[in-house]
């Protein structure tokens, strides 16, 4: 099983700043089958990024994904209050797994 480790656990930033979230895999992620999801309190997760760097439908270009192999990054530029959420990475290869999440607080 591929273990995904996200860091930091919590990120507190003011509006307008840039957030950088990390997702590190215990083994190489096949063909960049790496996705990022956003989950706001009381809501279901929402797909943001797939294939490590492709934005899902309707996702603003403030969200960008990068990386390959075992190291992946989600960047959120020009932070807005509505970006407060927990962000999860997921590898969707043979035995899919999720990371434990990074909480982003906009203060």
Partner 1 sequence: QVQVIQSGSELKEPGTSVKVSCKASGYTFTTHTVVWVRQAPGQGLEWMGWINTHTGIPTYAQGFTRRFVFSLDTSVSTAYLQINSLKTEDTAMYYCAREGDGDFAPLDHWGQGTLVTVSS
In DSSP terms, 80 is beta-bridged to none
* C-alpha pair distances (Å), 59 with each of 48, 71, 84: 6, 22, 15
If binding is defined by CB under 8 A, does position 58 make contact with partner 1? no
* Nearest of 53, 16, 18 to residue 35 by alpha carbon: 53
How many other β-carbons are positioned within 10 Å of the β-carbon of residue 103? 15
Nearer to partner 1, 44 or 82 (CB): 44
One residue of 13, 47, 59, 75 binding partner 1 per CB under 8 A: 47
Nearer to partner 1, 7 or 15 (CB): 7
The residue ranges that bind partner 1 (CB under 8 A) are 1, 30-31, 33, 35, 37, 39, 44-47, 50, 56, 86, 88, 90, 92-93, 95-101
């Amino acid at each position: 099983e591929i273990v995904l480790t996200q860091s930091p656990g919590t990120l507190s930033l003011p509006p307008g700043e840039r957030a950088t979230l990390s997702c590190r895999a215990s083994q190489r992620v096949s063909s960049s089958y790496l996705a990022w999801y956003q989950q706001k309190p009381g809501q279901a997760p929402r797909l943001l990024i797939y294939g490590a760097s492709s934005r899902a439908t309707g996702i603003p270009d403030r969200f960008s994904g990068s990386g390959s192999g075992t190291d992946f990054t989600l960047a959120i530029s020009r932070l807005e209050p509505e970006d407060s959420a927990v962000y999860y990475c997921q590898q969707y290869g043979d035995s899919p797994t999720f990371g434990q999440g990074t909480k982003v607080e906009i203060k």
